[in-house]
């Protein structure tokens, strides 16, 4: 221990000696002494960055004068992205500092919050709603629908699609037993004016010549509402544009042949095509120096509502309060009013003649709102014989001096006067408050406006045409009377649920440009939905599907059309079209699918089996007997797409984009005939995947398939390539089928591994 202590002491002494020597050397060095003088300017410039950094650090760390707010100095776990400026939300020890910082801020100008009452002023709301309609048109009932429906921008309009209380079954029951209501104001109305002969001449170039012409006596007098199909100029039966409805303005003089007015109702999906066609007709008339002009009514001028169902007439009888005298230039048709009173106890509008028109003048619906609909009476008002006499004999004709469709709604001046004479709700409510009985009017004639309307019989209901200024008021009254409102998608379902499966435009009108646009948009949506899912969640592989694509692809059906033996029936895929004429469709059904009730049924069936050209010969004979101005090439019909309805034979589902297979003799004898002979029900899985027919037997698609409440089974609407079906139909083995099974096909739902038997019919 002593040795180690001595060693440490020696080391300490040596270290002290070295430090003393170094200090003495520095003191004796003249240069070292001279460096002790300091240039302040140079020193500050050299360390300016350090000084600034120190000042900034001191500034931020100052208790009351730092740039950092107290809100930023709280612990991180207490900080928020959107911090409140309420001092009481800070910890107690930081509140005094925060108040001091806030007192140094520039005073803010307090903005008074606008009340809800000021925000909901009419002028403010109208301005806001106007900004929303820059790229689309709102219907007059848009606000009511937007609160209760799923809305969609379509064809330049904001339209209701489906109600929020989704229920197909309740809608079907309402249409069958009660009443349903739909706003059809999105349809565009073309107003044509010209000489009667000129209008007839040019419209015959674009309308279906096999349907009732617009020059028909029942239409040209204006007492009935007609329907037609619009084509390109002189291109029937190809190049279909859309189905249309028309109405002649009725004149008091039956022999009036001068300037007539014709209304044509066009679906907005085909609006641009219709404008192009009518513009060409107008140019042709101008070149021929004939009078043929047209204008388009804006949706803000006229509203159109469709109400249908057994209770539709009772609801209208309760809502309509007929005006007793006219105001300004509003015309009151006394004959039409008497007719309406006679039809007060009518059970259903379907009892009337189709398309009859009545011109009524009603009071403001708000005066009697809410309407009171009397209970349904189960006892008949009339005996059957008396009711028949009323329905057949009571309806007068213009030749008898009674014009029931003369109305002032065709005049724009009248529409403007009716709109200007309308009382706003504030004045109307004030008048209600002044009456002896609150909520009613002692003298309604002093406050009401005479409103000209047209009611038109359609199927089992009425079409109402009313000035747009009173459309919303009438709509509310109809809703409060018990009519169930439905949207655009529901309209297609209701047509589908009917017994004859009516096609809906543009969704089911194959061969039109509107249909192609609809299918393209639908296909893009399905592709996006499919590829957004991971492969394991897609359900099936699209590459294994025969068409390897979504949607309805008629080009796939016609791709092998050149393989036919008959060179005269070779199809150019660019000229594909669909036969939409009802008369031609009926002839096709009679020619292909024989009616057993026909006396010549067995003879025709045997002739078909002996001669494969029997169909063409029979079809050409029937076409020649048609009253048309031009002869049709029979082979052009075999180049077309035929719209069909499909009804499944047994149980099972039918989805959109399903495939239609032609049922050849192999599958007919191997599957269907055995089940038919042994009285076995069609199983859910009729044909397994490995036993499917060849892809060459795919003849069509199902565009829309659902369960039909009226049929009690799955049905669908679609189309088939007629040439491909015709080719398979006349093979010798296939003609040996039972006479009742000529229209039997196989249907395979999209993505499914099974196929089911079904029957097709042209529609």
What is the CB neighbour count within 10 angstroms for residue 657?
24
Task: List Cα–Cα distances, 296 to 250, 271, 505, 693, in angstroms.
Answer: 19, 10, 21, 52
Show the domains of the chain with their CATH numbers.
2-104 (no CATH), 186-297 (3.30.70), 302-481 (no CATH), 513-762 (no CATH)
Residue 640 to residue 561: CA distance in whole angstroms: 12
Q: Check residue 150 and give its pLDDT.
A: 95
Lowest mean pLDDT among 321-335, 408-422, 544-558, 641-655: 321-335
- Beta strands across the sheet bearing 137-138: 137-138, 157-163, 149-154
Q: Which of 160-169, 266-275, 693-702, 710-719 has the highest mean pLDDT?
A: 266-275
The whole-number pLDDT of residue 728 equals 78
Question: DSSP letter at 660?
Answer: E
pTM above 0.85, yes or no: no
Write down the pLDDT at residue 225.
94
Take residue 94 and report the two structure tokens written for it.
């930081």
Cα-based distances in Å from 207 to 15, 171, 264: 122, 34, 12
Strand partners, 296: 190
Per-residue pLDDT tens digits for 520-550? 999 999 999 999 999 888 877 888 888 888 8
Model pLDDT, residue 32: 47
371 pLDDT exceeds 90?
no
Helix %, strand %, coil % of the chain (to 5) = 45, 20, 40
Q: How many CB atoms lie within 10 A of CB 430?
A: 11
Q: What distance, in Å, lies between the first and last C-alpha atoms of the chain?
A: 122
Mean pLDDT for the stretch of residues 199-226: 91
Q: Where are the beta strands (DSSP E) in 564-652?
A: 641-648
Among 305, 241, 314, 642, smallest CA distance to 491 is for 305
pLDDT the model gives residue 620: 64
Q: DSSP strand E in 553-670: where? A: 641-648, 658-662
Number of alpha carbons in the 13 Å side-chain half-sphere of residue 609: 14
Torsion sign, CA atoms 168, 172, 174, 180: positive
Max mean pLDDT among 105-109, 685-689, 720-724 falls in 720-724
Nearest to 267 by CA among 11, 518, 592: 518
pLDDT band at 598, cuts 50/70/90? low
Least confident of 327-331, 679-683, 690-694: 679-683
- Whether 567 shows a pLDDT value over 90: the answer reads no
Question: Span 467-476, mean pLDDT?
Answer: 94
Closest CA to 522 of 538, 541, 503, 506: 506
Residue that is written with structure tokens 């009732």 in the block: 212
> Hey, what are 159's tokens?
């339209």
- Token pair, residue 321, equals 């309060």
In this predicted structure, the answer to whether residue 517 has a pLDDT above a threshold of 70 is yes
- What backbone phi and psi angles, to 5 degrees, belong to 467? -55, 140
The pLDDT value recorded for residue 33 is 46
Minimum mean pLDDT range among 3-7, 321-325, 432-436, 449-453: 3-7
Locus of tokens 């004939």: 290
The residue ranking higher by pLDDT, 244 or 684, is: 244
The percent of residues above 90 in pLDDT, for the chain, comes to 31
CA distance 270 to 281: 17
Structural contact between residues 702 and 547, judged by C-beta atoms closer than 8 angstroms: no
Rounded Cα–Cα distance for residues 491 and 501 (Å): 12
pLDDT band per the 50, 70, 90 thresholds, residue 685: very low
Which pLDDT tens digit goes with each residue over 688-733?
Answer: 656 777 888 899 999 999 888 888 888 999 999 888 887 777 665 6
Q: Choose the weakest-confidence range: 266-275, 383-392, 398-407, 474-483.
A: 383-392
Please return the burial class of 104, using the count of CB atoms within 10 Å of its CB with bins 0-12, 13-18 and 19+.
exposed
Q: What is the pLDDT of residue 370?
A: 83
* Sign of the alpha-carbon torsion through 156, 162, 165, 170: positive
pLDDT tens-digit series, residues 12-54: 776 766 565 555 455 555 444 445 577 888 888 888 888 888 8
Q: Is the pLDDT of residue 82 over 90?
A: no
Rg (CA), the chain: 41
Helices (H) and strands (E) in the chain, counts: 28, 20
Pair of tokens at residue 668: 């007919």
Give the angle 661-664-670 at the CA atoms, nearest 5°.
110
pLDDT at 681 over 50: no
> Which is higher by pLDDT, 601 or 591?
591
> Which residues, at least 6 apart from 623, have a Cβ–Cβ distance to it below 8 Å?
584, 587, 631, 632, 634
What gap in Å lies between CA 552 and CA 432, rounded to an integer? 58
Q: Which of 762, 551, 506, 520 is nearest to 646 (CA)?
A: 762
Torsion angle, CA of 89/95/100/106, rounded to 10 degrees? 0
Tell me the pLDDT of the chain averaged across its residues: 80
Maximum C-alpha span of the chain: 151
pLDDT, tens digit, for every residue of 65-80? 556 777 777 888 887 7
pLDDT digits (tens, 9 = 90+) for 477-497: 999 999 999 999 999 999 888
**Mean pLDDT value of segment 678-696:** 61
């Amino acid at each position: 221990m002593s040795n180690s202590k001595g060693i440490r002491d020696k080391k300490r002494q040596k270290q002290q000696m070295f430090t003393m020597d170094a200090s003495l050397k520095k003191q004796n060095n003249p240069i070292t002494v001279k460096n002790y003088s300091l240039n302040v300017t140079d020193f500050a410039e050299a360390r300016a960055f350090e000084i600034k950094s120190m000042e900034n650090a001191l500034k931020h760390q100052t208790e009351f004068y730092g740039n950092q707010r107290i809100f930023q100095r709280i612990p991180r776990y207490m900080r928020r992205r959107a911090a409140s400026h309420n001092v009481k939300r800070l910890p107690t020890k930081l509140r005094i500092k925060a108040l001091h910082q806030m007192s140094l801020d520039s005073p803010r100008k307090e903005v008074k919050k606008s009340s809800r009452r000021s925000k909901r002023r009419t002028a403010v709301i109208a301005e806001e709603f106007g900004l929303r309609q820059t790229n689309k048109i709102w219907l007059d009932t848009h606000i009511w629908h937007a609160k209760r429906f799923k809305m969609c921008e379509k064809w330049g309009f904001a339209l209701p699609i489906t109600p929020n209380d989704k229920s197909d079954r309740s809608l079907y029951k309402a249409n069958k037993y009660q009443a349903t209501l739909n706003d059809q104001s999105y349809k565009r109305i073309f107003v044509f004016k010209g000489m009667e002969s000129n209008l007839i001449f040019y419209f015959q170039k674009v309308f279906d010549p096999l349907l009732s012409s617009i020059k028909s006596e029942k239409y040209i007098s204006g007492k009935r509402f007609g329907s037609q199909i619009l084509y390109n100029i002189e291109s029937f039966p190809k190049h279909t544009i859309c189905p249309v409805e028309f109405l002649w303005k009725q004149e008091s003089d039956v022999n009036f042949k001068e300037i007539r007015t014709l209304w044509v109702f066009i679906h907005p999906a085909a609006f641009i095509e219709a404008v192009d066609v009518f513009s060409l007709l107008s140019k042709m008339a101008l070149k021929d120096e004939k009078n043929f002009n047209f204008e388009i009514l804006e949706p803000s001028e006229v509203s159109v509502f469709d109400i249908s169902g057994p209770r539709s007439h009772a609801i209208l009888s309760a809502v309509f309060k007929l005006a007793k005298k006219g105001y300004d230039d509003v015309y009151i048709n006394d004959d039409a009013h008497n007719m309406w009173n006679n039809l007060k106890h009518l059970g259903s509008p379907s009892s009337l003649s189709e398309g009859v028109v009545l011109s009524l003048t009603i009071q403001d619906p708000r005066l009697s709102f809410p309407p009171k609909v009397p209970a349904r009476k189960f006892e008949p008002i009339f005996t059957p014989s008396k009711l028949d006499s009323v329905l057949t004999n009571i309806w007068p004709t213009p030749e008898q001096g009674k014009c029931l469709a003369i109305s002032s709604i065709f005049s724009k001046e009248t529409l403007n006067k009716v709109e200007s004479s309308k009382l706003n709700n504030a004045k109307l409510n004030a008048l209600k408050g002044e009456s002896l009985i609150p909520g009613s009017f002692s003298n309604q004639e002093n406050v009401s406006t005479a409103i000209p309307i047209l009611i038109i019989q359609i199927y089992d209901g009425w079409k109402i045409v009313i000035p747009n200024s009173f459309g919303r008021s009438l709509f509310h009254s109809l809703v409060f009377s018990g009519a169930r409102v439905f949207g655009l998608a529901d309209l297609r379902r209701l047509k589908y649920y009917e017994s004859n499966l009516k096609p809906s435009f543009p969704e089911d009108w194959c061969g039109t440009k509107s249909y192609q646009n609809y299918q393209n948009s639908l296909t893009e949506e399905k592709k996006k939905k499919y590829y957004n899912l991971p492969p394991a969640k897609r359900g099936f592989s699209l590459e294994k599907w025969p068409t390897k694509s979504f949607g309805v692809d008629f080009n796939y059906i016609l791709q092998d059309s050149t393989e036919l033996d008959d060179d005269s029936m070779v199809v150019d895929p660019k000229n594909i079209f669909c036969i939409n004429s009802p008369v031609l469709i009926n002839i096709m059904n009679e020619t292909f699918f024989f009616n057993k009730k026909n006396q010549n049924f067995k003879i025709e069936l045997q002739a078909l089996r002996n001669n494969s050209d029997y169909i063409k010969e029979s079809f050409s004979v029937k076409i020649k007997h048609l009253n048309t101005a031009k002869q049709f090439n029979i082979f052009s019909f075999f180049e077309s797409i035929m719209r069909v309805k499909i009804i499944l034979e047994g149980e099972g589902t039918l989805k959109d984009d399903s495939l239609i297979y032609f049922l050849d003799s192999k599958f007919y004898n191997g599957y269907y005939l055995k089940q038919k002979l042994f009285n076995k029900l069609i199983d859910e899985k009729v044909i397994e995947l490995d036993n499917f027919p060849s892809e060459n037997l795919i003849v069509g698609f199902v565009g829309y398939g659902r369960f039909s409440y009226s049929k009690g089974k799955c049905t669908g609407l679609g189309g088939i390539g007629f040439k491909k079906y015709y080719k398979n139909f006349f093979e010798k083995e296939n003609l040996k089928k039972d006479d009742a099974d000529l229209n039997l096909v196989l249907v395979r739902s999209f993505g499914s591994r099974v196929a089911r038997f079904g029957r097709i019919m042209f529609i």
